[in-house]
Structure 1
């Protein structure tokens, strides 16, 4: 842990520079996203469906526009135009526009999963996937071949939906993703994956600026396009960055950092199946909704999630670098 802290101090300029780039890009693109959401009627209307909504007034759900602009500009600044990086941005673009259609018109579950898996396989076919499994405390390395593509696709699509699940209260998904981005970035940078780390640092800065408009009471929602993009980028970079060898200890970090959304996915699937329903059917029984029903405010719940994510992230860093 001391090595990580020392490394942050040594690279403080780079970290600060890209954080500020992301912050300023999002500071301008988020108001633009709000304007475009209102102009093109990409609005979350509380009474427009049979879903129970927490908010009482119409709110643009076009925050994905801001996230996408930030990601594209960061890629252009870093200028990493090899096959793998172009595949990542192409997958992000397809995911963004596909889920933006969901934010605007509403897609079926099958259509949404089709878009998600398409973006995942574009990244996979351009070089982003798990390739082997290393057993900790031994020299055993297992080549996983085609299974790596399947595991990678499930990881990417799983995190896309995991971030989407916790995007139920103001500032929840964006704040948790900002913390996750920072810790994944620092670790990726420490392991020598500078370009990927700087993209995540910039994304962290973008999300901090976005929170100015997204924290309760929110003036804009991430929408499926925004939450999906965050899940996609966090999953992709956790594979390509420090974790492409898929050692069990290195994979522990993204699992810890993203512990809350991952836990929400598994508890939601189990709960829905036990109640005899579809694991993909929307409900308001997630942990954050239950806390809201118990009387906690949206701001308090968001802060609780931030603290838990911070503790889990530090634990993951200690586990990853403390065990040899």
Structure 2
């Protein structure tokens, strides 16, 4: 039975649900009010990312019922994603202390890893590394960092949506090159769900994703990358390359702020993309710039890795080098002025 009809259905579902969530947010005054730490100037409703959660999880159940997703993948993606979405939804409607959020994040990561079987052996510079329990711990921190960095990087109109769509569709291409096309259904439908939301979030945004959506995307993308790693280490390297813009900006910014002794859990506007949006006086050019980088630089490097022309780690370094230069150019992590 063909399931291609799911792609437009998921897109349409996310599109319509975002419209409903926008009206709900306006009615309940769930609004992001601009302040000194904001990258936007107009009060805007938030929480639209719930449409991505509902549309994707519904599609995931249909995939599982048609044997397109293995039960362990369904439980890892659906369970961890649901936990993070609920935590984010509660935080969007009020406030949850950082320590409790972090505890929930690690619980979700542990849940996903329990169903995935932990961290698979990793090919690094021609050597296979089986890290055992150390690898599982590193994988948990990786998932928690992925969901948090996605939250950090969801700060201007459209950027988180464009990153998710290009990474997911790029991964589908990598799966095709690696001969594991069966893995493509989940990222393809996640891209469709995000595309439906992007209609409302494209600059100038009429609704924001909120923590429920950004955290959900972060952990689901992380779990998808580990699922792929069980097929091939090259696919994990490919995912990390495709997500390079977010990984480099968020990690470099965090490291620089930590080095200065700042409270990294406090809101700020010192990511490279935020400095860039202020320099270029708008969100659209930065979001489109991320799209161009993903398609014309990161995707070709990821393809070279999966095709065996580049070692995975070497490809990662090559892909990230110009991103680090851009982060430095746009003063990622510098003090705000």
- TM surpasses 0.5: yes
Task: Please say if residues 67 and 206 of structure 1, whose CA atoms lie closer than 8 Å, have aligned partners that are also in contact.
Answer: yes
Shift of 1:245: 5.7
SS in 2 for 1:141: strand
1:108 to 80, 93, 97: 97
Distance in 1 of aligned mates of 2:123 and 2:55: 35
Shift of 1:264: 1.5
Shift of 1:281: 2.8
Shift of 1:189: 4.9
2:8 to 10, 20, 33: 20
User: Is 2:38 aligned against 1:43?
Assistant: no
Which position in structure 2 is the counterpart of 1:271?
A: 256
Shift of 1:174: 0.7
Shift of 1:192: 5.3
Which position in structure 2 is the counterpart of 1:223?
A: 210
Shift of 1:228: 0.7
Which position in structure 1 is the counterpart of 2:132?
A: 145
Alpha carbons of structure 1 residues 86 and 39: separation in structure 2 relative to 1, 3 Å = farther
SS in 1 for 2:225: helix
Task: Please say if residues 49 and 197 of structure 2, whose CA atoms lie closer than 8 Å, have aligned partners that are also in contact.
Answer: no
SS in 2 for 1:63: coil
User: Is 2:268 aligned against 1:283?
Assistant: yes
Unaligned runs of 5+ in 2: 311-337
Distance in 2 of aligned mates of 1:250 and 1:202: 19
Alpha carbons of structure 1 residues 315 and 19: separation in structure 2 relative to 1, 3 Å = farther
Distance in 2 of aligned mates of 1:19 and 1:317: 24
Unaligned runs of 5+ in 1: 1-13
Task: Please say if residues 34 and 220 of structure 1, whose CA atoms lie closer than 8 Å, have aligned partners that are also in contact.
Answer: yes
TM-score under structure 2 normalisation?
0.83
User: Is 2:221 aligned against 1:234?
Assistant: yes
Q: How many matched pairs?
A: 305
SS in 2 for 1:297: coil
Which position in structure 2 is the counterpart of 1:163?
A: 150
Residues 178-220 of structure 1 deviation map (CA, whole Å, 9 limit, x = unaligned): 1001111332355455554212111112222211100111111
Alpha carbons of structure 1 residues 135 and 300: separation in structure 2 relative to 1, 3 Å = closer
Shift of 1:21: 3.0
Task: Please say if residues 15 and 201 of structure 1, whose CA atoms lie closer than 8 Å, have aligned partners that are also in contact.
Answer: no
RMSD: 2.3
Distance in 1 of aligned mates of 2:58 and 2:176: 20
Task: Please say if residues 37 and 267 of structure 2, whose CA atoms lie closer than 8 Å, have aligned partners that are also in contact.
Answer: no
1:244 to 220, 230, 246: 230
Residues 213-239 of structure 1 deviation map (CA, whole Å, 9 limit, x = unaligned): 001111110111111111111110111
Residues 285-305 of structure 1 deviation map (CA, whole Å, 9 limit, x = unaligned): 111111122234211111011
User: Is 2:79 aligned against 1:94?
Assistant: no
Task: Please say if residues 292 and 301 of structure 1, whose CA atoms lie closer than 8 Å, have aligned partners that are also in contact.
Answer: yes
